[in-house]
Amino acid sequence: MEGKIIGPGPYRATKLWNETIQLFRSGMPLRRHWVHFRSHDGCFSASEAVDWLHGLLKGNHNFGPDVTRAQTVQLLKKFLKNHVIEDIKGRWGKEDFEDNGTLYRFPPSSPLKPVPKRPLHTENIFIPKFPNWDDYEETAARDNVPMKPIVLNSELWNKRHSIAIGEVHECKLIRRREITPRHVEHIWKSMTLAHLQKILGLKSLDGVLDTKLLKAKNILHNVYQVNKQGVVVLEDKLEELPHWVLSAMKCLANWPNGSELKQPMYPGFEKDVFKTVADYFQKLKEPLLTFQLYDVFVNILGVLQKQHVATEALQVCCLLLPPENRRKLQLLMRLIGRIFMNKKIPPLNNAIGTRTLMVQTFSRCILCSADEVDLDELLATKLVTFMMDNYEEILKVPGRLQKSVEDHLAHLRRVQIKYAGADAEASFVSHSYCKQISKEEFEEQRVSSARAPMAELLEGIIQDTELPAKDKKKKLKQFQKSYPDIYRKRLPTAESEAAVFPVKPKMKPQLMFFTLKKPFQPFQRTRSFRA
């Protein structure tokens, strides 16, 4: 019984929990059992439940063949604690389920977890936008407050872009306002979340990730503050792994050359070193992938059948980690990879293989939920197995995302061409952030936004030195007739109007190279030669 595939989306862990319970209740064989000379109908033994549920989980697309019998027992313990099953006397609420002949049954109604209603979301909330720099400081301080883009109607758009007074050929190069580190952080966060949303194929990240709790500084640190091997470099040395843990990890990674690190060698030494590393990670207060990001990593499990998609999704999600967590995860995964490749290292456990040992030892150190009542162990096993097989790619910075962000920032810093009378910012108005304002403020902004291009147009006509005086006077007269208040503000007096036109130089008298001996006589018309 494979069941349906639970794809990415809000509350995926809850949906998986409910799906597993429904399959278990509908498919588990029930029959009559005898205990202490008494018969009990419609029940099953603990071992029968383990056998059947283990087969179900291994054949289910959401979990896979790596599920162990021990993990199935742990799940049945959670079922007993949450009253999914009860013993034949109706007792439940304790995790004392064991793989034996104890009889259990289903209660009359199963406590399926309610799936919260999906909150309303704003479409394209995480699509990167060109910031409105005037109001940006306040917006960035709130950090990713949902805002709708401004859309101008066609009449206002044409009004702002039309040039009423003939052709104006003057243009000038302008630079955009300075992009501060806060702007860069906001753009990185916005585009990273948009990229993740697109990869998972979701309309919104609501119910999957609380974006307000994410720190944009972590993303930038994880991208740029790395060494030659791509491992994160920490600024605060107190957040580093303890020296004795690093020493133990280096010893295992370089086995059997541990003597070079001045470590004492004895039979079974490698097992003690491995236990030292395992104890440190198992005692962490929070898993490396953090409680906050649990749901988004669980959602990635829904796309594991598409390896390329899952790898890129994990690349992006791992950028959201605190730098100290990402560094520890990188070092741990590199150690596991070195142990897999090292054929000289002795078996670290005589009962199970190295691969199974790594999964069982570190899965809950890497991923688990805060409440620990979901399918933590099963989900963590599947995700950690995939990460161990692809850790070199997963822990790289996603190149496609980095290129998109850096190209976007380069575009913002690029020199722009601005024509007199045209609003250079208007072409990007559909990307601006906005906030609710009063009608009075709107009218004031509408008037000022309409006056600014006209004032620039007037200034362009005045400063045009190549325009003939006759044409300039004509254009100024037209402008004065159309926009008298703007004209009056720029040229309030006759003197200011006269100053617009250059003063014509007086003609110099011609030099004469002869001396007049007689008084100058006016020109007399000569007699015609055709007499």
Q: Where are the domains of the chain?
A: 12-105, 118-176+414-499, 183-402
- Averaged confidence pLDDT in the chain: 80
Share of residues in the chain with pLDDT > 70 (%): 74
- Are 231 and 327 in contact by the 8 Å Cβ rule? The answer is yes
**Alpha-carbon distances of 510 from 159, 507, 513, 520, rounded to whole Å:** 55, 9, 10, 16
Greater confidence (494 vs 324) lies with 324
Greater confidence (313 vs 146) lies with 313
| Least trusted range by pLDDT, from 62-71, 245-254, 518-527 | 518-527
| Least trusted range by pLDDT, from 96-110, 239-253, 258-272, 490-504 | 258-272
Tokens describing residue 370? 């805060």
Greater confidence (141 vs 370) lies with 370
pLDDT surpasses 50 at 125: no
HSE-CB for 491 with a 13 A CA cutoff: 20
Mean pLDDT over 292-307 rounds to: 92
Mean pLDDT over 104-113 rounds to: 88
Which residue shows structure tokens 């109007």? 497
Which run of H or E residues covers position 198? helix 181-200
Mean pLDDT over 284-288 rounds to: 95
What pLDDT sits at residue 264?
62
CA pair distance 99, 334, nearest whole angstrom: 36
Q: How many residues does the chain have?
A: 531
What pLDDT sits at residue 248?
93
**Alpha-carbon distances of 331 from 45, 247, 406, rounded to whole Å:** 44, 12, 28
pLDDT surpasses 60 at 510: no
Model confidence at 22, in pLDDT bands (50, 70, 90)? very high
What pLDDT sits at residue 148?
40
| The CATH number of the domain covering residues in 183-402 | 1.10.555.10
User: Is there a common fold for 12-105 and 183-402?
Assistant: no
Model confidence at 112, in pLDDT bands (50, 70, 90)? confident
Fold topology of 12-105: Arc Repressor Mutant, subunit A (1.10.10)
The stretches of 128-167 forming alpha helices (DSSP H) are 136-142, 154-161
Model confidence at 367, in pLDDT bands (50, 70, 90)? very high
pLDDT surpasses 50 at 283: yes
The stretches of 285-367 forming alpha helices (DSSP H) are 294-300, 307-319, 323-341, 354-366
CA pair distance 294, 289, nearest whole angstrom: 7
What pLDDT sits at residue 466?
76
Model confidence at 514, in pLDDT bands (50, 70, 90)? very low
List Cβ neighbours of 297 (8 Å cut-off, separation of 6 or more). 289, 314, 317, 367, 383
What pLDDT sits at residue 92?
92
The stretches of 6-143 forming alpha helices (DSSP H) are 12-27, 46-58, 69-81, 136-142
Over its C-alpha atoms, the chain yields an Rg (Å, rounded) of: 38
| Least trusted range by pLDDT, from 60-69, 329-338, 461-470 | 461-470
- Are 483 and 454 in contact by the 8 Å Cβ rule? The answer is yes
Model confidence at 420, in pLDDT bands (50, 70, 90)? low
Mean pLDDT over 152-179 rounds to: 52
Helix axes 469-482, 439-463, angle to 10 degrees: 170
Greater confidence (35 vs 323) lies with 323
Model confidence at 258, in pLDDT bands (50, 70, 90)? low
Model confidence at 217, in pLDDT bands (50, 70, 90)? very high
